[in-house]
Homo-oligomer: A and B are copies of this chain.
Amino acid sequence: MNRTVFYLSDGTGITAETLGHTLLTQFDSNPFRQVTLPFIDSVDKASAVVQEINCVAAADGCRPIVFSTLIDAAAQEQVAQSNALVLDLFSVFIRPLELELAQRSSHTTGRSHGMADRASYGVRIEALNFALHHDDGASTKHYGDADVILIGASRTGKTPTCLYLAMHFGICAANYPITVDDLDSNQLPRVLWPHRERLYGLTIDPERLHQIRNQRRPGSEYASLPQCRKELRHVESVYRSEGISSLNTATMSIEEIASRVLQDARLERRLF
């Protein structure tokens, strides 16, 4: 059976996707077809959506699941009429919040994931620029301004983690690769010495690193299991001897690595 899931929103659809996706991970064997319908900001658009949902219900032979964060009551009412299980992620929680805060909700659409304020937009852009300019050891001049400097062997997740920390938490994160050239000297690269307290190490299982590197440069010395073992043994021994906190990223997503680093390194986020 082929079932379709709709994420419905008057804004980007990110909230509906996020909660919907989280809920669906609780069910096994679910090859759902996922469709996001963002910017549904009128009753007319909602009516068109109902038609689409009903067509899909007929074609699939089973009713779709709809995760909706529509704020407009008339639009949501339309959607509730469709031939689907409609889960309204909003209304359930708005009423208890109104009571608790002794305040009516504004019912304004598109507020989340919108341009909340220009200050936080600026924070984010600056953090992204910092990550881009301090990626892969490119520049080390402004390490004094970094909130954190991720170190580790090549392909352990440093770059995506820095970008995620910047994009979602406004954290200024640099990263510096520990390369084969550093293997001989059993110590931290000299350029990092003044910044010990900002360092955070990533590591990974040799087999997983071998697999990742092999996709990039198949059959190379760089990707070979012995080479991966040697490099990881080296970086881990440096982390230990220098007392640098570290994390094994082998089974983690970028979100998980970033959240762990934020917590372990006690970074103060600038964005929510």
Contact = CB atoms under 8 A, between A and B. Distances in A.
A160 B11 contact: no
A253 B15 contact: no
| Interface-centre pick from A22, A92, A93, A115 (highest chain B CB count, 10 A) | A22
A254 B167 contact: yes
Copies of this polypeptide in the complex: 2
Contact of A21 (B13, B22, B112): B112
A69 B94 CA distance: 17
A160 B128 contact: yes
A245 B148 CA distance: 39
A100 interface: yes
B105 A26 contact: yes
A28 to B, nearest CB: 6
Interface residues of A, number: 70
Given A39-B259, A87-B97, 14 more contacts: A11-B256, A12-B255, A14-B18, A15-B18, A18-B19, A24-B97, A25-B108, A26-B71, A65-B97, A114-B251, A114-B253, A116-B253, A163-B167, A167-B254
18 contacts: A12-B258, A12-B259, A19-B19, A21-B112, A22-B69, A22-B113, A23-B97, A25-B116, A26-B106, A26-B107, A27-B97, A27-B103, A27-B105, A38-B263, A65-B100, A85-B96, A87-B93, A115-B256
Given A167-B164, A256-B115, A96 B87 contact: yes
Interface in A109-149: 111-116, 121-122, 124-125, 128, 132, 135
Contacts of A21: 112, 272
Given A26-B108, A27-B106, A106-B27, A14 B255 contact: yes
Nearest to A32: B272
Given A128-B163, A251-B115, A256-B12, A93 B23 contact: yes
